[in-house]
């Protein structure tokens, strides 16, 4: 038992040791960071995506299909998430504007 664990036991504290990130955490960060570089928006999807996200209650997929080019919109949404121009609420999985 380590020193921190021994000290906690002597003090009567209950504790848990966290040994690292969950496996999907690093995968998710890698997935988001893949869109960190600057992007152009020749199809003008960003205004639509931000307006729809501001309206609230839409999931990532629902926002993407609000545009004429859902695959391109998905890539652009990832870019907006990475740069914190949009965000999502984990409880409802809806995307919001920041």
User: Can you list the pairs that 66-70 forms with residues at least 24 positions away whose Cβ atoms lie under 8 Å?
Assistant: 67/43, 68/43, 69/43, 69/45
pLDDT score for 96: 67
E-assigned strand segments in 1-98: 86-89, 94-97
Give yes or no for a contact between 38 and 28, defined as CB atoms under 8 angstroms apart.
Answer: no
- pLDDT for 68 equals 94
Query: So what's the pLDDT on residue 94?
Result: 66
Query: pLDDT truncated to tens, each residue of the chain (98 aa)?
Result: 577 778 777 888 876 666 677 778 888 788 778 777 888 999 999 999 988 888 877 888 888 999 999 999 998 888 888 877 777 665 555 676 66
What pLDDT, on a 0 to 100 scale, did the predictor assign at position 5? 75
pLDDT of residue 81: 83
List CB contacts of 83: < 8 A, sequence separation 6 or more: 36
Contact of 72 with 40, CB cutoff 8 Å: no
What pLDDT, on a 0 to 100 scale, did the predictor assign at position 58?
82
Rounded-to-integer distance, Cα 39 and Cα 72, Å: 11
Is the pTM value of this prediction over 0.85?
no
């Amino acid at each position: 038992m380590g020193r921190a664990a021994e000290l906690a036991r002597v003090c009567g504290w209950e504790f848990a040791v966290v040994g690292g990130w969950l496996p999907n955490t690093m995968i998710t960060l890698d997935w988001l960071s893949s869109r960190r570089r600057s992007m152009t928006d020749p199809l003008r999807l960003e205004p639509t995506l931000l307006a729809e996200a501001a309206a609230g209650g839409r999931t990532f997929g629902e926002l993407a299909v609000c545009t004429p080019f859902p695959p391109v919109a998905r890539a652009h949404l990832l870019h907006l998430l990475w740069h914190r121009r949009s965000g999502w609420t984990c409880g409802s999985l809806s995307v919001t504007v920041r």
